[in-house]
Amino acid sequence: MDDNKMMENFQLKAKPQDNVSPRVNEEVDLEEKHKQLRGFAEKLRAEYYEAYRQMIAELRPSQLDGFAEVLMEHQKHVVQNPDELICEMREQLMQSLKNSLDRFWEEYDVTDRVAELEMLKEQCNKFKGSSWNGSLMKPLQRTLPLQMHFKEIRLRYLEKQLSFQNEQLKSLMAVNCRERSRVLNMEQQRKSMLVTLERYSQDIEKRKSIMKQITDDLIFNTD
């Protein structure tokens, strides 16, 4: 019974994996491939290290003779222990080259770039050995580069036209803003003048009524 239950539990746990989409499996495969190729990129870095070591190993104490002569001639200094000096130079030069390579490798993410390049090369293997003879192509295929070049020229022309129109639109928008501000100012002045005119009209009517009253009084008194 225990074995049967364990088998059922295993089948239940394994069953959802059957529903995994092919796209997910493909992405997982690509990730695994990318990880493997990252290791290949690191091997390339190790090969650079080895090439540096071989280059530096060619340094010999005899190559310091020219420096020793210059030091003796100008500073009266004698180079002592050239073997130890050349060993120290090898170590410092190797460390300097290694640091430069590591800095370049990390700043430009060379490991991932090399892995991606290798993956693209593998994807393009299916085109290996294909015939690129232009005489066997159809007219449309032959003229495709010219068509693409023409479309690129047309696209650049339209981009320049669009940029020019955008500049004109900005200029017109600025003029529109100025004119709108001027119209708003005129409306405010008109409203202010209407209020003033209304006030003056009321004042004139009051004065007319006063003058009429005075005139009537004078006529009455004359009678």
- Section 31-39 average pLDDT: 83
Using a 10 angstrom Cβ sphere, with 0-12 exposed, 13-18 middle and 19 or more buried, the burial of residue 115 is buried
Kindly report, residue by residue over 116-172, the tens digit of the pLDDT: 888 888 887 776 766 666 677 777 777 888 889 999 999 999 999 999 999 999 999
Q: Of 122, 139, 166, which residue sits at a domain end? A: 122
- Section 10-21 average pLDDT: 47
Q: Is residue 201 in some structural domain?
A: yes
Q: Is residue 164 in some structural domain?
A: yes
Using a 10 angstrom Cβ sphere, with 0-12 exposed, 13-18 middle and 19 or more buried, the burial of residue 98 is middle
Phi first, then psi: what are they for 109, rounded to 5°?
50, 50
Using a cut of 0.75, tell me whether the model's pTM lies above it. no
**Quick one: 117 and 156 in the same domain?**
no
The answer to whether residue 79 scores a pLDDT higher than 80 is no
Between these two residues, 59 and 133, which has the higher pLDDT value? Answer: 59
Please give the share of the chain, as a percent, with pLDDT higher than 90: 34
**Quick one: 155 and 212 in the same domain?**
yes
Q: Is residue 107 in some structural domain?
A: yes
What value, to the nearest 5°, has the Cα angle with vertex 217 and ends 213 and 220?
A: 140
Residue 97, domain extent: 27-122
| CA 65, 66, 71, 74 torsion-angle sign | positive
Q: Is residue 78 in some structural domain?
A: yes
Q: Is residue 204 in some structural domain?
A: yes
**Quick one: 37 and 113 in the same domain?**
yes
Cα-atom radius of gyration of the chain, to the nearest Å? 46
117: left (phi over 0), alpha (psi -120 to 50) or beta: alpha
Weakest mean pLDDT among 46-50, 66-70, 144-148, 164-168: 66-70
Do residues 122 and 34 make contact, with C-beta atoms less than 8 angstroms apart? Answer: no
**Quick one: 118 and 47 in the same domain?**
yes
**Quick one: 36 and 115 in the same domain?**
yes
Measured torsion, CA atoms of residues 32, 35, 36, 39, in degrees rounded to the nearest 10? -170
Q: Of 87, 122, 157, which residue sits at a domain end? A: 122
Between these two residues, 141 and 90, which has the higher pLDDT value? Answer: 90
d(CA 68, CA 82): 10
**Quick one: 35 and 111 in the same domain?**
yes
Q: Is residue 140 in some structural domain?
A: no
Q: Is residue 162 in some structural domain?
A: yes
**Quick one: 92 and 170 in the same domain?**
no
Residues 6+ apart with CB under 8 A from 79: 64, 67, 68, 71, 85
d(CA 73, CA 26): 71
pLDDT score, position 1: 44
**Quick one: 111 and 46 in the same domain?**
yes
Q: Of 72, 88, 122, which residue sits at a domain end? A: 122
DSSP string for 185-200: HHHHHHHHHHHHHHHH
Tell me, rounded to whole angstroms, the distance of Cα 210 from its chain centroid: 82
Q: Is residue 2 in some structural domain?
A: no
Between these two residues, 29 and 73, which has the higher pLDDT value? Answer: 29
pLDDT score, position 220: 72
Kindly report, residue by residue over 182-203, the tens digit of the pLDDT: 999 999 999 999 999 999 988 8
Q: Quick one: tokens of 156?
A: 């650049």
pLDDT score, position 171: 92
Total domains in the chain come to 2
pLDDT score, position 17: 47
pLDDT score, position 58: 83
